[in-house]
Amino acid sequence: MNTIKTIATAAVCAITLQANAQTVGLNRADMNLNVSPGEDFYEYAGGGWMKANPLKAEFSSYGVFDDLAEKNRKQLRELFDDLTSKQHAKGSVGQKVSDLYKLAMDSDRLNREQAEPLKADLAKIAKVKKSNLTELIAEIHLYLANPFFGIGVSADLKDSNTNVMWLSAGTSGLPDRDYFLSTDEDSKKLQQGYRDFFTKLFVQNGYKQKDAAVAAQTIYDIEYKFAEAMMSRAEQRDYTKLYNIRTIDQMQRDYPAIQWQKYFELMGVKDIKQLIVEQPKVMEVANKLMTTLTDKQIRDYISGKVMAAATGYLSDDIYMTQFDFYGRQLSGQKEPRPRWKRALGLPNTLLGEAVGELYVDKYFAQGSKEKMVKLINSLRKALANRIANLDWMSDETKVQALVKLNTFTVKVGYPDKWRDYSKLTINPTLSLFENVKAAGYIETRRNLDRLGKPVDKDEWGMTPQTVNAYYNPTTNEICFPAAILQAPFFDVNADDATNYGGIGVVIGHEMTHGFDDQGRRFDCEGNMNDWWKPEDSQKFKVAAEKLARQFDELIVVKNQRANGHLTLGENIADQGGLRIAFDAFNKTQQAKENKELDGFTPAQRFYLSYGRIWAENITEEAMFQQTKSDPHSLGRNRVNATLRNIDTFFEAFGIKKGEKMWRDEDDRALVW
């Protein structure tokens, strides 16, 4: 299922300086004072933290965000351990959460069952022929996986109050199309590793070795063809290219391998007249494959995708087959995470808001919500002032930008109304896989039932226990879950410079997403609509392209460069967040008094706080994967490359021409 949303990393809240908090917030031990801030600010601000937090075997990357997520996992474990120690009424949230967690923790049972829970589904797939493909595809889409294509209901980009059907074709088991298309030696090893993964998985599910290798090659060949037709990740960021309306009659004419009316009826979707196809060229390939592949090839492909989707819910040896490729080879992770951490993920995902309600009740400081709203308002004023004073934007476009900014919906902490999970049944007499499959069906039906109904703009796109935040263009909202409203992002005892440099920047980051290269395409109502004067739009594109080129020049790992166009939205938001938060910070008493604290000026503390929150250790494999598939730049580049465009950063540390962090004024990119 594919939903069209911009989800971006962020953070929260600031508070006024307290007299007894002189050493709280920034810690010199987190820094590397042997490095000059003008040579490598990332190392200067966070080198001590990185040295003190070497990469553990269970991680492919570990940063300050991950550190907070680890704290969060321990809190959730306390909640789940408490729940599992008590008796709960059948059908209650406590029963569902605790039984699901216990099923995931029961390694003895999982290892006894091996691949047995999959047999019934694989037996069904073994009978499929092209003549009854529509029926099988619909059933698989409802419960298990998305072979060939997938559907999902989300807001119409041009009518943000209405839910419409979206279709995404070309499901792939590798992070990006380039993993298939690249021909260097490292890519060839990963391609072989992917085929080996499926070969072993087929053997574990009863195939003979020779047949397993043939089936694995079939999957690889199919996904290679998808990759050839697919838009690049950077191209996929352009919503206008994804918005391709097709009527059901057009679908039947252009993609006749599926009986579309029958498919949607089997999916429980009635009276559908049209849908939006994200990548028509990929759907053309999917249609051709469903027509030309042999029945056996279709069976092998669908079986393999179902097996791969189930690996986390079966025996340890099957899970390790998945880990050996996706964890060890693809990401550079040396060991799997302990079972309790993996087990947390099931109730935390399938019963997310039910867990969130328990989490908020026990761990969330209620006063944080009010303080957060005040901080957001101060940042909103700072952004409004920055827009009003832009010398490259016309007054007409400024008015529209300010209208959009002032209509932002702000969500903080947790939803006002919690989700109802009464339709979900967790039955401990059934296998873990069967329960996950049943939960998947409930979630799919919940999504599909939205079709044609008004968008629920009170609904949250993240659970309260998620260490993250987001901006959604179709609802024009920024959201900050409870889990991120804590140190090091929000520290009630820290000085304003520290909080504005950490939390304030990432709030400003989310606000800026409303005006980045894609967010700017949406108006105050959340509709994709060009509200810019043409000359202003052109000036924006020139500035954005300048920023993209800066990141394109960066070497990430070996000979792999960063992708400035894939990461452009996040890079614009990082830069905007810094400028907005610094402007807002300058209104505080600490900034006005401009007194040193622990040897650093307020402005220095602001930028040191920003540098620290992106400190991370990461494997080369994970660096490569993130660069290929993630719209966020690596932490080092989010700090060093971004700060080289910020005048007040140079002033704070007295950085001069000739130092590595310096960038000539004419070469600096200013977007917001």
At 9 the pLDDT is 32
Q: How far apart are CA 658 and CA 641, in angstroms?
A: 16
The model's pLDDT over 623-635, given as tens digits with 9 standing for 90+, comes to 999 999 999 999 9
Query: What are the C-alpha distances in Å from 327 to residues 384, 443, 447, 467, 573?
Result: 44, 27, 30, 22, 30
- Judge contact between 649 and 44, C-beta under 8 A: no
- Judge contact between 150 and 168, C-beta under 8 A: yes
At 90 the pLDDT is 95
Q: Tell me the pTM.
A: 0.92
In the chain, how long is the greatest CA-to-CA distance? 77
Read off the pLDDT of each residue in 239-266 and give the average, rounded to a whole number. 97
Which residues sit opposite 61 in a β-bridge? 618
The model's pLDDT over 362-380, given as tens digits with 9 standing for 90+, comes to 999 877 888 888 899 999 9
Read off the pLDDT of each residue in 539-557 and give the average, rounded to a whole number. 96
Phi, psi of 57 (to 5 degrees): -60, -25
Q: How far apart are CA 126 and CA 149, in angstroms?
A: 20
Confidence class for position 3, pLDDT limits 50, 70, 90 = very low
Read off the pLDDT of each residue in 488-493 and give the average, rounded to a whole number. 83
Q: How much is the mean pLDDT over the chain? A: 93
At 160 the pLDDT is 96
The model's pLDDT over 72-83, given as tens digits with 9 standing for 90+, comes to 999 999 999 999
Percent of the chain with pLDDT over 70: 96
Q: Which residues contact 604 (CB under 8 A, 6 or more apart)?
A: 652, 653
Q: Which residue has the tokens 């796109």?
A: 461
Confidence class for position 10, pLDDT limits 50, 70, 90 = very low
Q: Does domain 132-313 have CATH number 1.10.1380.10?
A: yes
Confidence class for position 21, pLDDT limits 50, 70, 90 = very low
The torsion defined by the Cα of 139, 141, 144 and 148, in degrees rounded to 10, comes to 120
Which residues sit opposite 528 in a β-bridge? 522
CATH architecture classification, 41-71+365-397+409-417+458-512+531-667: 3-Layer(aba) Sandwich (3.40)
Confidence class for position 8, pLDDT limits 50, 70, 90 = very low
Q: How far apart are CA 126 and CA 123, in angstroms?
A: 5
Confidence class for position 19, pLDDT limits 50, 70, 90 = very low
At 22 the pLDDT is 39
At 24 the pLDDT is 65
The model's pLDDT over 586-613, given as tens digits with 9 standing for 90+, comes to 999 999 999 999 999 999 999 999 999 9
The model's pLDDT over 250-259, given as tens digits with 9 standing for 90+, comes to 999 999 999 9
Q: Which residues contact 155 (CB under 8 A, 6 or more apart)?
A: 4, 161, 162, 163, 164, 455, 474, 475, 526
Nearest-CA neighbor of 53 among 635, 482, 485?
A: 635
At 25 the pLDDT is 81
The model's pLDDT over 141-173, given as tens digits with 9 standing for 90+, comes to 999 899 999 999 999 999 999 999 999 999 899
- Is the pLDDT at 6 greater than 50? The verdict is no
At 487 the pLDDT is 86
The model's pLDDT over 420-450, given as tens digits with 9 standing for 90+, comes to 999 999 999 999 999 999 999 999 999 999 9
β-pair type (555-557, 245-247): unpaired
Q: How far apart are CA 484 and CA 12, in angstroms?
A: 7
Would you give the DSSP letter of residue 312?
A: G
The model's pLDDT over 187-239, given as tens digits with 9 standing for 90+, comes to 999 999 999 999 999 999 999 999 999 999 999 999 999 999 999 999 999 99
The model's pLDDT over 93-147, given as tens digits with 9 standing for 90+, comes to 999 999 999 999 999 999 999 999 999 999 999 999 999 999 999 999 999 899 9
- Residues, the chain: 672
- Is the pLDDT at 383 greater than 90? The verdict is yes
- Is the pLDDT at 402 greater than 60? The verdict is yes
In the chain, domain spans: 41-71+365-397+409-417+458-512+531-667, 132-313
Domain 41-71+365-397+409-417+458-512+531-667 identical in fold to domain 132-313? no
Q: Which residue has the tokens 């069209």?
A: 4
